[in-house]
Amino acid sequence: MTTEASTPERHYTCELDGRKIQYTNRSEFLVQIGNGPKGSYDTKYKFVGELSRALNWYSGVNVGRGYKKRLLMPSCAGNPVLAKQVSA
């Protein structure tokens, strides 16, 4: 059984909507859902080191009737929001 401390850190780079993203196998990705224009977001899904899986879950969430969603990487310097969508 491997633990987080014994697993070597791996670095990855990808491009998402023209933005270069660098992350590791220990980076957290949060899929958050909110309601209303000024409503707060709640974290519904958390993925560690798996950006592609987080993107799949994010794209699978339907927003409508005032809901909104976003994909966050809290460890990102600057703007941690990787993707965001608001219903009309």
Render pLDDT for 14-26 as a digit per residue (tens, 0 to 9): 999 899 999 999 9
Q: What is the pTM (predicted TM-score) of this model?
A: 0.86
Q: pLDDT tens-digit profile of 32-81?
A: 999 988 889 999 999 999 999 999 999 999 998 889 999 999 998 889 99
Q: Give start and end residues of each alpha helix (H) in 1-88.
A: 51-60
Tokens of 18: 């023209």
Tokens of 84: 């965001």
Matching residue, tokens 């990808």: 14
Tokens of 74: 């809290």
Matching residue, tokens 């660098």: 22
CA 7, CA 40: separation in Å to the nearest integer? Answer: 35
